[in-house]
């Protein structure tokens, strides 16, 4: 817990956009959950708080929103730190096609509910614990409750979860490649090497593409949610990028 507390302090200046409008945040019945809509919601949040610019940190599908934000509002981003996430042609990853098809059919929420009902499954290779954590034991009961309870807490929430995932079927990142190649935002990639969804080749693509790239740090053996398992490492990288 001490490491998590230190990370919370270290990341005090950043916003990590992922699942905006879901989780414990209420959303209107017909809320648009597309990446562009989430980018727009992030802009609205910053405007409402009178925050002119931020340091962005993003993981997983949040990387899509972060890259859209950088491409569309470059003057509002001081720095960008990306961990394993969607990049260019790998958005969404091919391995997500079945899940997206399940979401379109309105049934993906059932898989998420199973994580609450069956903790062995949740930590198995077929669940998020086994697929996204190096040590599935780090996917604690508390984390499972916090992550999944609000997503399946009502018929509306289940519907919105399915719509959220289905909205990622169309790839918005190909169109912003020219803007990324012009980006003046200092960017650092910190990438787990054992993530089948977002392999290291995509961190290397970002390093080649972004003019102000600060390089790639590899997290050996790290899977998709390695930042939860090694928060101090992420905090150190953030501080270095911010110059503090």
pLDDT tens for the 244 residues of the chain, in order:
333 333 333 333 333 334 455 678 888 888 898 999 999 999 999 999 999 999 999 999 999 999 999 999 999 999 999 999 999 999 999 999 999 999 999 999 999 999 999 999 999 999 999 999 999 999 999 999 999 999 999 999 999 999 999 999 999 999 999 999 999 999 999 999 999 999 999 999 999 999 999 999 999 999 999 999 999 999 999 999 999 6
Other CB atoms within 10 A of residue 75 CB: 9
CA angle 243, 67, 61 (to 5 degrees): 105
How would you list the strands of the sheet with 54-60, edge to edge?
14-15, 54-60, 77-85, 187-192, 213-219
pLDDT digits (tens, 9 = 90+) for 6-39: 333 333 333 333 445 567 888 888 889 899 999 9
Q: How far apart are CA 178 and CA 176, in angstroms?
A: 6
Residues 119 and 148: beta-carbon distance below 8 Å = no
Its pTM stands at 0.89
3-state class of 118 per DSSP?
coil
Radius of gyration, CA atoms only, the chain: 17
pLDDT of residue 13: 38
- In the prediction, which pLDDT does 138 show? 95
Q: Give the residue from 93, 63, 61 showing the smallest Cα distance to 81.
A: 63
Q: What are the boundaries of each domain within the chain?
A: 96-168
Dihedral angle of Cα 82, 85, 90, 94, to the nearest 10 degrees: 170
Check: CB of residue 59 under 8 Å from CB of residue 83: yes
Token readout for 198 is 């977002």
């Amino acid at each position: 817990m001490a490491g998590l507390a230190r990370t919370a302090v270290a990341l005090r200046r950043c916003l990590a956009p992922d699942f905006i409008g879901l989780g414990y945040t209420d959303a209107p019945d017909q809320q648009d959950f597309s990446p562009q809509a989430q980018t727009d919601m992030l802009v609205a949040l910053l405007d409402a708080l009178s925050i002119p610019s931020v340091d962005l940190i993003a993981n997983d599908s949040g990387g899509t929103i972060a890259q859209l934000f950088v491409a569309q509002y470059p003057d509002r981003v001081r720095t960008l730190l990306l961990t394993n996430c969607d990049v260019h042609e790998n958005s969404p990853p091919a391995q997500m096609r079945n899940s997206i098809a399940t979401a379109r059919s309105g049934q993906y929420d059932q898989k998420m509910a199973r994580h609450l009902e069956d903790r062995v499954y949740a930590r198995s290779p077929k669940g998020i614990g086994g697929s996204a954590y190096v040590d599935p034991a780090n996917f604690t009961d508390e984390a499972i409750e916090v992550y999944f309870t609000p997503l399946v807490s009502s018929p509306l929430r289940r519907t919105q979860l399915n719509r959220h995932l289905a909205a990622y079927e169309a790839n918005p990142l190909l169109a912003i490649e020219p803007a990324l190649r012009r980006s003046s935002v200092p960017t650092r990639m910190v990438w787990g090497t054992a993530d089948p969804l977002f392999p290291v080749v995509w961190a290397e693509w970002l390093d080649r593409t972004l003019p102000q790239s600060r390089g790639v740090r590899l997290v050996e053996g790290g899977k998709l949610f390695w930042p939860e398992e090694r928060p101090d490492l992420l905090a150190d990288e953030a501080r270095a990028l911010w110059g503090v």
